[in-house]
């Protein structure tokens, strides 16, 4: 039987031809990536001294990027796995675009770690001599498993659409791409039983991935939380990082969706109601994040412990005050106002707020990491450390973002960014429990307005 998606032609259109705009964009992004590579090779030769890191600020921009990119990755899993488990069928058009964020941000999280290592040539020591008492091993396991599972989850949910592209675009695409789809489709023939099994596996994996999301970012936070440093050694750090990741990830999804909608003319598949649903989620997460911040700083400052207060005061009124309050304004102040007063039915405002949230969240990661190191326990009476990131770290950061954008852009030209099979009007005809739920509400694409 055939799944019918009335938007199929629209969704497949981007795969047929590359525009000059694409070539320019890819060259530009590729150039930035190359700059990053050059900066990295220079760092390998000259040593990490080319960065601004020192004693006591042993971790800086690279680790900030690590935490930030892993956090971004949570967007995909949140939309595709957690919302799936929660039975939110409106998520269907977004899932692949969101999962692609996950897929392409994780490698750069890992790249950030590699960039930060003193002896990257010895990375395999972790496998030969790994000690599970170290939070870094928990990190390695969790992020590794998460990446592997995200790739597989994305691939499985892509399978029916690869087969569709293989069949529909025959003759319209170069031979090598046709071959690629044929191989990747793994002989998928669209039998109802295949669809049923696929849905079952995706349901199961969604539950697993949800658990992984919680584990991964908690474990990332424990790299800081398991030390004795003020500002880091707090039980709240796990939930703190987790909620932050989900917040920045969901905001990233809004940005990406708005871009795709504009660039590929996907207004029919990505209607306004999607943005309104995301708006409600973002309000919830922003408020949740505000709660975490209040709990953290109220507890710390009320306790008035010397080494804690040094770090807190540094953030509130010291050398990091501008960054801290700037972050607060960018992450909640303005976005909350925008969401409540202007965000409904306005993609432009939603994107503005989401961009602010992500810039703010990058700053937030920096603020968690650096001020604590600048006021180490033993030295608080002496002098504070100083950290000034160098151009090497800036260039590498930019190249990470460029790399992620490049991979994403290329992906959208090779695979349909909206799941054609999951948004088909007659999905329920396959008698899949998930689809039946859809049939009992409304067809997956048209969503009840807010």
Partner 1 sequence: MPRWGMVIDLDKCFACQSCTAACRMENNTPVAGPNQAAAGRAILWNEVLPFIEGEYPNVQAVMLPRPCMHCDEPACIKVCPVQATYKDEEGLVLIDYQRCIGCRMCTVACPYSVRYFNWYPPEWPASLKQHLNPDPEVAPRPAGVVEKCTFCVQRLRKARQTAEAQGRPFQATDYIPACVQTCTGHARYFGDLDDPNSLVAKLSHSPRAYRLQEELGTQPKVFYLKQG
Partner 2 sequence: MQIGNLVATFFEAAGPGGVVIMAVLILALITYYLLARWILAGGKEKS
Task: Kindly list the residues in this chain that would bind partner 1 in the complex (CB under 8 A).
Answer: 46-49, 53-59, 116-120, 122-123, 125-126, 128-131, 133-137, 140, 223, 226-229, 373, 376-379, 381-382, 385-386
Query: Shortest CA distance to 198 belongs to which of 188, 208, 183?
Result: 188
Smallest gap, in angstroms, from Cβ of residue 236 to partner 1? 19
Torsion of CA 56, 141, 104, 388, to 10 degrees: 0
3-state secondary structure 342-361: HCCCCHHHHHHHHHHHHHHH
Give the residue with the Cβ less far from partner 1, 232 or 349: 232
Residue 120: count of CB within 10 angstroms of its CB: 12
Q: Quick one: what does residue 116 bind among partner 2, partner 1, none, with the CB cut-off 5 to 8 Å set by partner type? A: partner 1
Smallest gap, in angstroms, from Cβ of residue 307 to partner 2? 28
Smallest gap, in angstroms, from Cβ of residue 64 to partner 1? 14
- Mention every residue, 6+ apart, whose C-beta is less than 8 A from residue 295: 236
Smallest gap, in angstroms, from Cβ of residue 207 to partner 2? 14
Q: Considering just the CA atoms, what is the radius of gyration of the chain in Å?
A: 23
Give the residue with the Cβ less far from partner 1, 54 or 178: 54
Give the residue with the Cβ less far from partner 2, 128 or 176: 128
Give the residue with the Cβ less far from partner 1, 160 or 230: 230
Give the residue with the Cβ less far from partner 1, 238 or 335: 238
Q: Quick one: what does residue 439 bind among partner 2, partner 1, none, with the CB cut-off 5 to 8 Å set by partner type? A: none
Smallest gap, in angstroms, from Cβ of residue 146 to partner 2? 10
Smallest gap, in angstroms, from Cβ of residue 65 to partner 1? 15
Q: Quick one: what does residue 192 bind among partner 2, partner 1, none, with the CB cut-off 5 to 8 Å set by partner type? A: partner 2
Residue numbers at the binding site for partner 2 (CB under 8 A): 126-134, 137, 140-141, 144-145, 148-149, 152, 156, 159, 186-188, 191-198, 201
Give the residue with the Cβ less far from partner 1, 43 or 215: 43
H or E segment at 28? helix 20-46
Q: Quick one: what does residue 135 bind among partner 2, partner 1, none, with the CB cut-off 5 to 8 Å set by partner type? A: partner 1
CA atoms within 13 A on the CB side of 298: 6
Smallest gap, in angstroms, from Cβ of residue 302 to partner 1? 20
Give the residue with the Cβ less far from partner 1, 231 or 335: 231
- Measured in degrees and rounded to the nearest 5, phi and psi for residue 225 equal -60, -25
Say whether 248 sits in a helix, a strand or coil: helix
Give the residue with the Cβ less far from partner 2, 144 or 433: 144
Smallest gap, in angstroms, from Cβ of residue 115 to partner 1? 12
Give the residue with the Cβ less far from partner 1, 70 or 350: 70
Q: Quick one: what does residue 382 bind among partner 1, partner 2, none, with the CB cut-off 5 to 8 Å set by partner type? A: partner 1
Q: Quick one: what does residue 152 bind among partner 1, partner 2, none, with the CB cut-off 5 to 8 Å set by partner type? A: partner 2
Q: How many residues does the chain have?
A: 450
- Measured in degrees and rounded to the nearest 5, phi and psi for residue 421 equal -75, -35
CA distance 137 to 130: 7
Q: Quick one: what does residue 273 bind among partner 2, partner 1, none, with the CB cut-off 5 to 8 Å set by partner type? A: none
Peptide bond into 56 cis (omega under 30): yes
Give the residue with the Cβ less far from partner 1, 35 or 136: 136
Smallest gap, in angstroms, from Cβ of residue 149 to partner 1? 22
Q: 347-374 vs 237-264: helix axis angle to the nearest 10? A: 150
Q: Quick one: what does residue 355 bind among partner 1, partner 2, none, with the CB cut-off 5 to 8 Å set by partner type? A: none
H or E segment at 276? helix 272-303
Say whether 18 sits in a helix, a strand or coil: coil
Q: Kindly list the distances between the CA atom of residue 139 and the CA atoms of 117, 216, 233, 410, in Å, as whole numbers in the listed order.
A: 15, 7, 17, 29
Burial 33-66 (b: 16+ CB within 10 A, else e): beebeebbeebeeeebebbbbeebbebbbbbbbb
Instruction: Assess contact for 260 and 412: CB atoms under 8 A.
Output: yes
Q: Quick one: what does residue 229 bind among partner 2, partner 1, none, with the CB cut-off 5 to 8 Å set by partner type? A: partner 1
Query: Shortest CA distance to 99 belongs to which of 37, 161, 21, 141?
Result: 161
Q: Quick one: what does residue 99 bind among partner 2, partner 1, none, with the CB cut-off 5 to 8 Å set by partner type? A: none
Smallest gap, in angstroms, from Cβ of residue 188 to partner 2? 7
């Amino acid at each position: 039987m055939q799944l019918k998606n009335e938007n199929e032609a629209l969704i497949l259109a981007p795969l047929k031809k590359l525009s000059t705009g694409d070539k320019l964009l890819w060259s530009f992004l590729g150039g930035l990536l190359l700059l990053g590579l050059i900066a990295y090779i220079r760092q390998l030769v000259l040593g990490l001294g080319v960065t601004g890191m020192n004693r006591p600020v042993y971790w800086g921009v690279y680790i900030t990027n690590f935490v930030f990119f892993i956090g971004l990755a949570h967007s995909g899993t949140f939309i595709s796995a957690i919302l799936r488990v929660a039975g939110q069928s409106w998520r269907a058009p977004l899932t692949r675009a969101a999962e692609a964020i996950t897929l392409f941000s994780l490698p750069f999280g890992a790249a950030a770690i590699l960039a930060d290592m003193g002896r990257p040539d010895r990375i395999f020591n972790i496998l030969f001599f790994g000690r599970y008492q170290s939070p870094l091993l928990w990190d390695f396991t969790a992020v590794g498993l998460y990446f592997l599972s995200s790739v597989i989850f994305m691939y499985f949910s892509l399978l029916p659409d690869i087969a569709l592209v293989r069949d529909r675009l025959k003759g319209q695409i170069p031979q090598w791409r046709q071959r690629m789809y044929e191989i990747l489709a793994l002989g998928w023939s669209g039998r109802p039983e295949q669809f049923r099994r696929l849905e079952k596996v995706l349901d199961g994996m969604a539950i697993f991935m949800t658990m992984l999301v919680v584990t991964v970012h908690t474990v990332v936070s424990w790299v800081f939380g398991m030390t004795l440093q003020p500002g880091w050694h707090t039980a709240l750090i796990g939930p703190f990082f987790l909620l932050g990741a989900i917040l920045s990830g969901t905001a990233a999804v809004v940005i990406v969706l708005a871009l795709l909608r504009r660039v590929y003319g996907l207004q029919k598949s990505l209607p306004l109601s999607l943005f309104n649903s995301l708006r409600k989620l973002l309000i919830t997460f922003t408020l949740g994040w505000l709660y975490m911040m209040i709990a953290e700083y109220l507890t710390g400052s009320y306790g008035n412990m010397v080494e804690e207060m040094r770090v807190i005061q540094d953030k509130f009124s010291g050398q990091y005050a501008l960054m801290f309050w700037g972050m607060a304004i960018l992450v909640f102040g303005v976005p909350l106002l925008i969401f409540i007063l202007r965000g409904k039915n306005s993609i432009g405002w939603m994107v503005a707020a989401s961009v602010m949230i992500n810039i703010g969240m990058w700053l937030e990661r920096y603020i968690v990491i650096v001020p604590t190191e600048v006021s180490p326990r033993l030295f608080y009476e002496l002098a504070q450390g100083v950290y000034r990131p160098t151009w090497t770290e800036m260039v590498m950061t930019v190249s990470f973002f460029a790399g992620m954008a490049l991979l994403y852009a290329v992906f959208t030209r090779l695979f349909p960014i909206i799941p054609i099979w999951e948004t088909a009007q007659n999905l329920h005809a396959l008698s899949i429990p998930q689809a039946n739920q859809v049939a009992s509400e409304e067809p997956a694409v048209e969503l009840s307005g807010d």
